[in-house]
A = this chain, B = another copy of it.
Amino acid sequence: MYRNDIVRIGRKPVMVYVTAVLTCVAGYHKVIIQARGQSISKAVDVAEITRKKFLKDLRVDGITIDTETMKGDDGRPVGVSTIEIELSKP
């Protein structure tokens, strides 16, 4: 099922995702930022910019890292790191 409280980080500029996180928090008081591979750095940037510049009372509830197995270009399975950052507003 599509969940409205998840923001998936991709190739768009950081501020696009910061806006998505702010919208999410306004509606649900919490948000989960998900990213994998090279987007993991951007996910941390999004969480930090939102917390430090926009919503100073936003709390990091938990951060989990994992590995997802995907099909590589040659068809063989490759592991890709993932991150989930849970934020909530008291």
The chain A residues found within 8 Å of chain B, CB to CB, are 37-41, 44-45, 47-49, 52, 60, 63-67, 79, 81, 83, 85
Complex copy number for this chain: 2
Asked whether B63 lies within 8 Å of A48 as measured between CB atoms, the reply is no
- Determine whether the beta carbon of A65 is less than 8 Å from that of B40: no
Q: How far is the CA of A49 from the CA of B52 in the complex (A)?
A: 31
Q: How far is the CB of A30 from chain B (nearest CB, A)?
A: 17
Name the residue of chain B whose CB is nearest to the CB of A83.
Answer: B44
Q: Is the CB of B79 within 8 A of A65?
A: no
A48 touches B85 (CB 8 A): no
Pair B37/A41 contact, Cβ less than 8 Å: yes
Query: A2 to nearest B CB, angstroms?
Result: 26
